[in-house]
Amino acid sequence: MRRSDWKSVLDAATSGALEHLDSLPHRPVLPAADHARIRTALDQPPGTAGIDPTRVVEDLARDLGPYVAAQASGRYFGFVAGGLHPASLGAEVLVAAWDQNAPMFSSTPGVVVAEELAAQWLVGLMSLPETSSVGFVTGGQMATFTCLAAARHEVLREAGWDVEADGLAGAPPITVVVKSGAHATVLRALRFLGLGERSIVTVACDDNDNVRPDELEQALHTIHGPTIVVVECGNVNTGGFDDFAAVADLTDAHRAAGNPTWVHVDGAVMLLAAASPVMADNVVGLDRLDSWSTDGHKLLNVAYDCGIAICRNAAAHRAAMSIQAAYLEQGTEAREPLDWSPEFSRRARGVGVYATLRSLGRDGVAELVERTTRLAHRFADALRESGRAAIVNDVVSNQVLVRWIAPDGDHGRLADEVMAGVRAEGSAFFSGTTYRGQRLMRISVSDWATDEQDVDQAVEALLRHARLATG
């Protein structure tokens, strides 16, 4: 076996990584550079002879490092992006060094068992049915896809159709019920699954983008045959929670009337609320539904990429995802990862979940949910009290919608100017959204490292740029 100078490469990588991590409290949250400048810094095509790996890593840290967003900063409040827990970082270093392709126990037993345990712990932590199956995928998009594939399988199976064998041509039509504020990844997953957006019935929401049970009941009365309903645990704009108990009651009745029914929960933003006693009132009935998806790289703060698909009906989950081939060595007592996700070759992303859960513990996960919610309230209170902004949503978790009040009435323009000013100086990062026709600023508190000082510093920057923009 050819030997490599691993120590020199790791020393170079560690030096660059530590420089980045140590700079997080004071470096610009968003680097000030345009596309052309970054290309100029990185455009060093491979030469004929090649370069020593250590030098390549040193050059990468030097040339690319200045243009990396400080997404693990406590002041990154855009796009529901979690930070990086130290246990996850350490696990990712090991996973990269171990270089495991992790589809089966027979090929890589250690990491498969670690993922098996992480799956079991997650289900227990959120008080979901203990026999639920879990797949570790790339993110919320593929977690939703995986759960809806299981849903498609099961509602068609109950209608007497084998979609895996016979495809969708000629199958009984599936009606998909979503709320008006459903995340775009749900619609995209339906396209991937061949169901299409015209299969959708949209149900109205209340003022916090929570589905209205009366509207859901009315919609279900008009639907006959296989039905998939999608609700949310943490709306991407408002952070709101649907009434899971009411949804469960209504869909149980729909199922009892002879309609094969599956209810999926998009929990990318706040499924972990189920781990917090303080948030218990928001998740009543969550465990009565059929599948749940979330992002580990959001609130759990594991490294990118990590999505999690959970299904009550393990048989449906496995039927939709499993694969067999003569050359594979399957059928052990261990959980085989390739049976629970759409990937074959895959990195052992569940090891980061294993490490982070062990480090945080049950109390730590609950505290993380509660602290990010508390800090979201701190943002909302400070901006509301300034008189320069209005809070549009009912802040029930870690999301805040802000309308900046412009003297000339062009509130959307002011929102964009305030966000642009704060981004340009690098003091924090916020992203915008268009919500019910309004251009707003969205605050997402999702980083385990964020504290009161980060919030106060960000509020000061926001108000300063609001004053500059309005004169």
If you write DSSP's letter for every residue of 382-429 in order, what string do you get?
HHHHHTSEEE-S---SSEEEEEE--TTS-HHHHHHHHHHHHHHHTS-B
| 35 residue type, one letter | H
Whether the pTM exceeds 0.85: the reply is: yes
Reading the block at residue 254, the tokens are 């729909």
Q: What is the pLDDT of residue 462?
A: 98
Q: What is the pLDDT of residue 74?
A: 97
In sequence order, what are the beta bridge partners of 391? 402
CA dist., res. 267 & res. 280, Å (int): 15
281 C-beta neighbours (distance < 10 Å), count? 9
Beta pairing, strands 291-295 & 261-266? parallel
Q: What is the dihedral of CA 73, 75, 76, 82, to 10 degrees?
A: 60
Could you give the C-alpha distances from 192 to 38, 153, 185, in angstroms and in order? 34, 14, 10
Q: What is the dihedral of CA 428, 434, 435, 436, to 10 degrees?
A: 160
Per-10-residue mean pLDDT of the chain, 471 residues long, equals 95 97 96 93 94 97 97 96 97 97 94 97 98 98 98 98 97 98 95 94 97 98 98 98 98 98 98 98 98 98 98 98 88 85 96 98 98 98 98 98 97 98 97 97 98 98 97 79
CA dist., res. 465 & res. 469, Å (int): 6
CA dist., res. 375 & res. 115, Å (int): 31
Q: What is the pLDDT of residue 334?
A: 75
**What would you measure as the largest C-alpha separation in the chain, in angstroms?**
72
